């Protein structure tokens, strides 16, 4: 006897959102009802075709199966926030179905790469004999292409991925054609594309989304944090404007280092405003751990070392005689060394406060336990 499980996965939970059906949906009759309700709620939903395709494979396997074989079908649903949350929901539902049916093999039916991303979850729990992809036949004319483009723009999942890069590309091209000497702006397109590809390759997209969410929360958390967030944005634009205005005047290494010194001041100011805004947000949420303060201190240390390095480079490139005497080294590197010592002291103080908070919270919980035991 062979038990085969036909699985279709709705990773973004369109079935639950549009038809109100929660997964897992097990059984031919239940899956057919789910397909009808989803098709009525949204006739253009591709997950309906995936469910009907799974029913088709279920019936075909049932016709060719022997009397002792068992065929079952199940719909697994994820979550609107596609990612780890939806994958955990799919894994939990799959474990529930496997515990009830105990399949020997599985057939996965999907409607695209988004649902196929859950394939490792299925293969880690049951042997998958085949993966079927349901592709709906559509017109190959211009009207069909236009229809799909319009539907992709209306879909919130693809709107930001499609329209934002296109908008940035058109804005840069337009500014490059309008502004004088705008060829440098157009030449920055390969740089931006390269940075985007590098971020995707290093997996920085999730971290940037988390930082963007914290920025949004900071902007709505209070007037002070909103002002700090605005100052960081203004500082970033001023740094870009400084590069734009002073790049044509760079003739030698001395001018280049001087321009870097001016830009560095705006960057440090923007970074300090940004870290202060995050610190205020953490304080409002009651999750302040002192990390923002440490990052501010570290930024000051880095800036003092870079500023000292720039002063030394400017002194050497300008033709001045630079002798590394004790007094000269003290004048150039005294402030960076003092800032590093102050950062170490600040770090010790922050760690002491964090340990005290943990100790107080631990005693508070022990006090609750002790009071309850005394009450007994």
The model's pLDDT over 236-275, given as tens digits with 9 standing for 90+, comes to 888 788 777 777 676 777 677 777 777 777 888 878 777 7
Report the pLDDT value the prediction gives residue 282, as an integer from 0 to 100.
66
From first CA to last CA, the distance across the chain in angstroms is 58
Please check whether residue 228 is in contact with residue 273, taking contact to mean a CB–CB distance below 8 angstroms: yes
The domains of the chain are located at 3-133, 145-203, 204-374
3-state per-residue secondary structure call for the chain: CCEEEEEEEECCCHHHHHHCCCCCEECHHHHHHHHHHHHHHCCCCHHHHHHHHHHHHHHHHHHHCCCCCEEEEEEEECCCCCCHHHHHHHHHHHHHHHHHHCCCEEEEEECCHHHHCCHHHHHCCCCEEEEEECCCCCCCCHHHHHHHHHHHHHCHHHHHHHHHHHHHHHHHHHHHHHCCCCHHHHHHHHHHHHHHHHHHHHCCHHHHHHHHHHHHHHHHHCHHHHHHHHHHHHHHHHHHHHHHHHHHHCCCHHHHHHHHHHHHHHHHHHHHHHHHHHHHHHHHHCCCCCHHHHHHHHHHHHHHHHHHHHHHHHHHHCCCCCCCCHHHHHHHHHHHHHHHHHHHHHHHHHHHHHHHHHHHHHHHHHHHHHHHHHHC
Please check whether residue 114 is in contact with residue 12, taking contact to mean a CB–CB distance below 8 angstroms: yes
Residue bearing the bigger pLDDT, 87 or 144: 87
The model's pLDDT over 308-354, given as tens digits with 9 standing for 90+, comes to 887 777 777 766 666 777 777 777 778 888 888 888 887 787 776 66
Confidence of residue 113 (pLDDT cuts 50, 70, 90): low
The model's pLDDT over 268-320, given as tens digits with 9 standing for 90+, comes to 887 877 777 777 666 666 666 667 677 777 878 887 888 888 777 777 776 66
What's the burial of 208, exposed, middle or buried (CB within 10 Å: 0-12/13-18/19+)?
exposed
What predicted TM-score, i.e. pTM, was given to this entire model? 0.45
Radius of gyration of the CA atoms of the chain, in A: 30
What value, to the nearest 5°, has the Cα angle with vertex 140 and ends 138 and 143? 90
Please check whether residue 268 is in contact with residue 299, taking contact to mean a CB–CB distance below 8 angstroms: yes
Which has the minimum average pLDDT: 25-29, 56-60, 91-95, 211-215? 211-215
Report the pLDDT value the prediction gives residue 12, as an integer from 0 to 100.
86
CA atoms within a 13 Å half-sphere pointing along the CA-CB vector of 345: 6
Report the pLDDT value the prediction gives residue 337, as an integer from 0 to 100.
85
Q: Which residues contact 91 (CB under 8 A, 6 or more apart)?
A: 121, 125
Residue bearing the bigger pLDDT, 80 or 376: 80
List Cα–Cα distances, 356 to 116, 282, 295, 350, in angstroms.
49, 18, 21, 10
Using CA atoms, how far apart are residues 1 and 19, in angstroms rounded to an integer? 36
Using CA atoms, how far apart are residues 179 and 189, in angstroms rounded to an integer? 16
Query: Please, what sign has the CA dihedral across residues 86, 20, 33, 102?
Result: positive
What are the φ and ψ backbone dihedral angles of 110, each rounded to 5 degrees?
A: -130, 170
The residue whose two tokens read 């079935």 is: 15
Report the pLDDT value the prediction gives residue 156, as an integer from 0 to 100.
65
Please check whether residue 108 is in contact with residue 9, taking contact to mean a CB–CB distance below 8 angstroms: yes
Using CA atoms, how far apart are residues 180 and 163, in angstroms rounded to an integer? 27
Q: Which two tokens stand for residue 211?
A: 């930082």
């Amino acid at each position: 006897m062979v038990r085969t499980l036909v699985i279709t996965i709705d990773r973004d939970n369109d079935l639950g959102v549009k038809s109100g059906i929660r997964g897992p949906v097990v059984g031919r009759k239940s899956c057919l009802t789910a397909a009808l309700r989803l098709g009525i709620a949204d006739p253009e939903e591709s997950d309906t075709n995936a469910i009907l395709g799974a029913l088709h494979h279920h019936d075909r396997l049932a016709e060719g199966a022997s009397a002792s074989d068992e065929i079952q079908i199940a719909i697994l649903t994820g979550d609107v926030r596609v990612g780890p949350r939806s994958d955990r929901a799919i894994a939990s539902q799959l474990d529930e179905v496997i515990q009830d049916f105990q399949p020997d093999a599985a057939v996965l039916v999907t409607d695209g790469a988004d649902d196929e991303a859950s394939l490792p979850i299925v293969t880690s729990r049951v042997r998958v004999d085949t993966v079927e992809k349901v592709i709906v036949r559509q017109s190959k004319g211009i009207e069909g292409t236009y229809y799909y483009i319009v539907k992709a723009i209306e879909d919130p999942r693809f709107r930001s991925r499609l329209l934002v890069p296109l908008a940035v590309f058109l804005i840069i091209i337009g500014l490059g054609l309008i502004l004088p000497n705008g060829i440098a702006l157009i030449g920055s397109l390969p740089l931006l594309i390269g940075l985007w590809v590098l971020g995707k390759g290093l997996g920085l997209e999730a971290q940037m989304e988390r930082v963007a969410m914290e920025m949004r929360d900071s902007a709505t958390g209070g007037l002070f944090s909103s002002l700090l967030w605005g100052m960081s944005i203004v500082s970033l634009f001023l740094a870009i404007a400084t590069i734009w205005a002073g790049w044509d005047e760079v003739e030698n290494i001395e001018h280049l280092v001087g321009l870097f010194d001016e830009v560095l001041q705006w960057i440090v100011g923007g970074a300090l405003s940004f870290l202060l805004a995050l610190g205020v947000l953490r304080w409002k949420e009651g999750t302040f751990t002192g990390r923002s303060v440490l990052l501010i201190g570290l930024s000051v240390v880095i800036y003092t070392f870079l500023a000292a390095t720039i002063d030394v480079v400017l002194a050497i490139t300008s033709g001045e005689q630079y002798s590394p005497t004790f007094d000269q080294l003290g004048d150039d590197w005294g402030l960076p060394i003092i800032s590093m010592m102050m950062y170490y002291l600040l770090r010790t103080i922050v760690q002491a406060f964090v340990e005290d908070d943990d100790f107080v919270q631990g005693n508070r919980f022990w006090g609750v336990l002790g009071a309850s035991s005394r009450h007994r």
